[in-house]
């Protein structure tokens, strides 16, 4: 079964991820199993951060392609190594994020619930543009800020009030 859909219809980040995966599998003479491509399809379809369980459900329900937990785990590890996905570990929850090349992005990660929000900053853009980088031409960046989102802050305030 060939799981690669027409690349013209896919977004740029997915095309890039497919190239990385193809290149790796060819170079290392690994079989191009349909599981790996189905998992990549599901990963690219995830809008936010996701857990291994959520990805498994997406494969099962949306793509009708059930994959064992072990295969999911190994494939996600491979994707992390190839920088197709980023792994976040917040409290005791491991979540994954598909690396879309957003150019210049600042991500605010809630260290309580794991929610990721994007922000832009002209000041940081300018700072990066004026940084002196030795033998390096920077074309994009991703900056992760860790803290507590407003929903979690509100929950904490409510819990505190109850305790008093
Ligand atoms: Zn939160």
* Residue ranges, the chain, pLDDT below 70: 1-10, 101, 164
Nearest to 32 by CA among 138, 40, 151: 40
Ligand 1: distance of its center to the CA of 136 in Å?
A: 36
Element (H, E) at 22: helix 12-27
List pLDDT tens digits, range 27-46.
Answer: 999 888 899 999 999 999 99
Ligand 1: distance of its center to the CA of 113 in Å?
A: 4
Q: What is the pLDDT of residue 118?
A: 86
Q: What is the pLDDT of residue 4?
A: 47
Ligand 1: distance of its center to the CA of 81 in Å?
A: 27
Ligand 1: distance of its center to the CA of 94 in Å?
A: 15
Neighbours of ion ligand 1 (CB under 5 A): 110, 112-113, 115, 149, 152
Ligand 1: distance of its center to the CA of 107 in Å?
A: 13
Ligand 1: distance of its center to the CA of 148 in Å?
A: 5
Q: What is the pLDDT of residue 54?
A: 95
Q: What is the pLDDT of residue 91?
A: 75
Ligand 1: distance of its center to the CA of 49 in Å?
A: 13
Ligand 1: distance of its center to the CA of 154 in Å?
A: 9
Which whole-number Å values give the CA distances from 135 to 47, 105, 130, 132, in the listed order?
Answer: 35, 23, 15, 9
Q: What is the pLDDT of residue 10?
A: 52
pTM: 0.71
């Amino acid at each position: 079964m060939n799981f690669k859909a027409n690349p013209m219809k896919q977004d740029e980040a997915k095309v890039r991820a497919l190239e990385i995966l193809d290149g790796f599998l060819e170079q290392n003479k690994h079989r191009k199993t349909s599981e790996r491509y189905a998992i990549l399809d599901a990963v690219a379809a995830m809008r936010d951060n996701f857990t291994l369980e959520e990805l498994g459900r997406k494969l099962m329900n949306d793509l009708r392609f059930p994959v064992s937990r072990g295969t999911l785990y190994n494939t996600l590890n491979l994707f992390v190594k190839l920088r197709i996905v980023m792994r976040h570990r917040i409290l005791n929850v491991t979540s994954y994020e598909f690396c879309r090349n957003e150019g210049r992005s600042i991500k605010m990660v809630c260290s309580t619930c794991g929610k990721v929000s994007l922000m832009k900053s002209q000041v940081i853009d300018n700072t990066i543009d004026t940084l002196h980088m030795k033998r390096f031409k920077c074309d994009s960046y991703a900056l992760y800020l860790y803290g507590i989102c407003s929903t979690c802050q509100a929950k904490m305030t409510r819990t505190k009030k109850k305790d008093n």
